């Protein structure tokens, strides 16, 4: 582990992976939803969610240094708790949560794009589907092409967001951010947690741990730098948005709030620029997440927690995982609204991150960790999840059922597969015994 890896990922590249994973399409998609719940306290809501992510990044940093692997979260959970049905279900839930993320990005792409067509619902669905299918086709090309596309788009969207902040800060009206404009505390926390999925991308650094030159030094620094940068960026974006646009206008433009927030100080040009940037950003997020999720299903299958058919490659790629992910994403993105997609995604990641913190507590002697930090991270994730579910049960009770179905689906897939696999192995074992018995009888008959 002390030896330098020749593949060449250093500290700056690792930070870039983390920032690119977090500043995907999340901030464009969920900003309006956060304001709907937290009102003038939206910057604080983003800060609360960021603290939960920062605490969890400690466990990821320690586990990544000790168990560097492309499997990331899957490897950590299996190392700590084995490959039982419950952990297998959590790994499948993580895959489904990535699909929900894809759906969120596609939803945002479609609704920002529809602003150029008079907010037509038909155009929204056409653009949602085109983005998913188009990026899936791009993922059939080489990883080199995908990487080149991602590098440029990550740089462009960071520049545009920083520019949005710098231009918008001078015109912020502080009265719109005063404590009297904040939602009640529980709504404030729920507002932060429903958009928690805007932070989840920091875990992608763990998947690159094997390729980092000096993992013991660079991985922890990369995790903390990436998360802290994004926390400050999101808070700044929230301040500019809430400080420049009345709440009722942000809520009315919930699906494309960031573009609407640019209008007061950048005019219609600013609206169009942010809308184009949002489409570019969400398209790149779909591209990167599809690239990761197709391999994620492959890794879970290799761990024996999904059918082995997902391990098969076509043209050197796990295309079956890509096809299944694409089809499910098309359904979720076109059938569910923004709040239900965000609730599903954030709840899934909060639950999984709580278990990752628990994994680091269990493996603390091997990872040389301070258990209290991971314990605090686990408690923060569970408390945040409880606040989100409580608020959702009041505001959108039907979304609780959607979440239950998602968790039940993950458990059902894993249990069904394990039962089928056990039955399959039993049949193979019986068949071998019958063949063996037949050979023995045949031998005895010939001897007689």
E-strand stretches of 244-342? none
pLDDT tens for 187-200 read: 888 888 888 888 88
Q: Which residue has the higher pLDDT, 154 or 6?
A: 154
pLDDT at 299: 63
- Whether the pLDDT of residue 389 is over 90: the answer is no
Q: Buried (b) or exposed (e) across 238-247, using 16+ Cβ within 10 A? A: bbbbbbbbee
Structural domain count of the chain = 1
3 within domain boundaries: no
Mean pLDDT, all residues of the chain: 82
- Is the confidence at residue 437, as pLDDT, over 70? no
Report the pLDDT averaged over residues 277-281. Answer: 86
Please indicate, yes or no, if residue 114 is contained in any of the structural domains: yes
Q: State residue 221's pLDDT score.
A: 93
Quickly state the pLDDT bin for 207 (edges 50, 70, 90).
Answer: confident
Domain membership of residue 330 (yes or no) is yes
pLDDT per residue as tens digits for the range 82-110? 877 888 888 888 888 888 888 988 999 99
- Domain ranges, residue 396: 11-447
Average pLDDT over residues 59-87: 87
Specify the pLDDT at position 156.
82
| Stretch among 5-9, 116-120, 397-401 having the lowest mean pLDDT | 5-9
Mention every residue, 6+ apart, whose C-beta is less than 8 A from residue 157.
23, 277, 280, 281, 284
Checking if the pLDDT of 149 tops 80, the result is: no
Confidence of residue 145 (pLDDT cuts 50, 70, 90): low
User: Which of 61, 21, 59, 385 has the alpha carbon at shortest distance from 230?
Assistant: 21
pLDDT band at 311; cut points 50, 70, 90? low
- 398: helix, strand or coil: helix
What pLDDT score was predicted for residue 254? 86
| Confidence band of 387 (pLDDT split at 50, 70, 90) | confident
> Which of 7-16, 259-268, 316-325 is the most confident on average?
259-268
Has residue 4 been placed in a domain?
Answer: no
pLDDT reading at 62 higher than 90 = yes
pLDDT at 443: 45
5: in domain: no
- The CB-side HSE value for 245 (13 A sphere, CA atoms) comes to 34
Smallest CA-to-CA distance from 7 within 294, 212, 145 is with 212
CA distance 326 to 127: 15
More confident residue, 114 or 11: 114
Q: Which residues contact 155 (CB under 8 A, 6 or more apart)?
A: none
Q: For the domain that residue 65 is a member of, what is the CATH number? A: 1.20.1740.10
- The pLDDT score that the predictor gives to residue 307 is 58
Residue 157 domain-assigned (yes or no) = yes
> For residues 271, 266, 281 and 174, what is the CA-based torsion angle, rounded to 10 degrees?
-110
Q: Are 377 and 62 in contact (CB under 8 A)?
A: no
Please give the helix or strand (H or E) that residue 392 lies within, else none. Answer: helix 371-395
> In degrees rounded to 5, what are phi and psi of residue 314?
-120, 125
**pLDDT band at residue 65 using 50, 70 and 90 as cut-offs:** very high
> 22 near 233, Cβ under 8 Å?
no
Residue-level length of the chain? 448
What percent of the chain is modeled with pLDDT above 70?
Answer: 83
The verdict on residue 145 lying in a domain is: yes
Please give the Cα distance from 36 to 34 (Å, whole number).
Answer: 5
Residue 98 lies in a domain: yes
pLDDT of 278 above 50: yes
CA–CA dist 338, 398 (Å, integer) = 13
Of residues 181 and 303, the one with the higher pLDDT is 181
CA–chain centroid gap for 359, Å, is 19
- pLDDT cut 90: percent of the chain above it: 33
Q: Per-residue pLDDT averaged across 50-56, rounded?
A: 95
pTM over 0.85: no
Question: 3-state DSSP call for residue 264?
Answer: helix
For residue 301, the number of C-alpha atoms closer than 13 Å in the C-beta half-sphere is 16
Per-residue model confidence as pLDDT tens digits over 332-379: 999 988 788 888 888 889 999 999 999 999 999 999 999 999 999 999
CA nearest neighbour of 112 among 260, 235, 289, 322: 260
Residue 27 above 60 pLDDT?
A: yes
**Given pLDDT bands bounded at 50, 70 and 90, which one contains residue 438?**
very low
The residue with tokens 């947690």 is 193
Across residues 143-157, what is the average pLDDT?
A: 66
The yes-or-no verdict on residue 294 having pLDDT over 70 is no
């Amino acid at each position: 582990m002390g030896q330098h890896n020749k593949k060449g990922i250093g500290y700056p590249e690792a930070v870039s992976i983390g920032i690119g994973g977090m500043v995907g399409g999340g901030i464009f998609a969920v900003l309006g939803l956060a304001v709907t719940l937290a009102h003038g306290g939206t910057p604080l809501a983003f800060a609360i969610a960021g603290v939960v992510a920062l605490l969890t990044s400690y466990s990821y940093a320690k586990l990544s240094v000790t168990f560097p692997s492309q499997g990331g979260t899957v490897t950590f959970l299996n190392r700590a708790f084995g490959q039982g049905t419950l952990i297998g279900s959590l790994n499948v839930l993580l895959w489904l949560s990535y699909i929900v993320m894809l759906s969120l990005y596609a939803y945002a792409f479609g609704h920002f794009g529809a602003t150029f067509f008079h907010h037509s619902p038909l155009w929204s669905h056409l653009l949602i589907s085109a983005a998913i299918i188009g990026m899936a086709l791009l993922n059939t090309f080489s990883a080199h092409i995908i990487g080149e596309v991602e590098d440029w788009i990550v740089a462009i969207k960071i520049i545009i967001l920083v520019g949005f902040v710098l231009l918008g800060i001078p015109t912020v009206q502080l009265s719109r951010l005063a404590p009297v404009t904040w939602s009640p505390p529980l709504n404030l926390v729920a507002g932060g947690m429903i958009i928690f999925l805007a932070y989840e991308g920091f875990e992608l650094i763990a998947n690159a741990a094997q390729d980092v030159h000096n993992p013991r030094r660079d991985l922890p620094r990369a995790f903390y730098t990436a998360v802290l940068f994004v926390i400050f960026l999101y808070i700044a974006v929230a301040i500019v948005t809430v400080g420049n646009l009345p709440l009722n206008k942000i809520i009315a433009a919930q699906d494309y709030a960031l573009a609407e927030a640019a209008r007061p100080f950048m005019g219609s040009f600013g609206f169009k620029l942010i809308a184009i940037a949002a489409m570019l950003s969400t398209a790149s997020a779909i591209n990167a997440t599809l690239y990761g999720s197709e391999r994620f299903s492959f890794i879970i299958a290799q761990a024996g927690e999904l059918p082995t058919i997902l391990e098969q490659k076509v043209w050197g790629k796990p295309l079956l995982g890509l096809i299944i992910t694409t089809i499910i994403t098309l359904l979720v993105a076109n059938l569910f609204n923004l709040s239900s997609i965000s609730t599903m995604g954030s709840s899934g990641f909060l639950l999984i991150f709580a278990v990752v913190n628990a994994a680091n507590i269990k493996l603390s002697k091997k990872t040389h960790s301070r258990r209290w930090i991971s314990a605090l991270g686990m408690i923060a994730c569970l408390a945040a999840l409880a606040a989100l579910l409580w608020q959702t049960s009041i505001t959108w009770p039907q979304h609780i059922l959607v979440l239950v179905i998602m968790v039940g689906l993950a458990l059902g897939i894993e249990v069904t597969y394990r039962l089928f696999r056990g039955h399959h192995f039993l049949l193979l074992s019986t068949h071998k015994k019958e063949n063996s018995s037949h050979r023995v009888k045949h031998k005895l008959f010939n001897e007689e």
